[in-house]
Amino acid sequence: MAEQMTGAQMVIQALVDQAVEHVFGYPGGAVLPIYDELFQQDKLRHILVRHEQGAVHAAEGYARSTGKVGCVLVTSGPGATNAVTGLTDALMDSTPLVCITGQVPTHLIGNDAFQECDTV
């Protein structure tokens, strides 16, 4: 029987399976389970920044200089909206980037939950 995995474990495993080596990010409540898993392994290196926009621009620079896909991990709400400028810059410059954001629990969407933001 296959071992059961949490959603956070699946996210980390998917990044490892895609040969991601570096994740740029700023922790927040909605993504703490992913951060917990990130720090339980040694295949991905986390680059801590001081602002979500900085995470995206750092990942963008990484992608441009290495030819690999940049990967960003930020929390929901303001974390996601703070990443928009860098994501737009990467889009306009055709820089390969993946941004993973948190979200409030499904049953709270549309209820003005803490840090809720429609990011899709």
From residue 7, give the alpha-carbon distance in Å to each of 10, 37, 52, 112, 115.
Answer: 5, 10, 22, 24, 20
Residue 114: band (very low, low, confident or very high) from pLDDT cuts 50, 70, 90: low
Q: Residue 28 domain-assigned?
A: yes
pLDDT number for residue 1: 63
Residue 66's CATH number: 3.40.50.970
**Residue 118 maps to a domain:** no
pTM of the model: 0.91
29 domain-assigned:
yes
CB 78 within 8 A of CB 105: no
In a domain, 90, yes or no: yes
pLDDT of residue 103: 80
Residue 62 belongs to domain spanning: 7-108
What is the number of structural domains in the chain?
1
pLDDT at 95 over 80: yes
User: For the segment 25-81, what is each residue's pLDDT rounded down to a tens digit?
Assistant: 999 999 999 999 999 999 999 999 999 999 999 999 999 999 999 999 999 989 999
Cβ atoms within 10 A of the Cβ of 61, count? 13
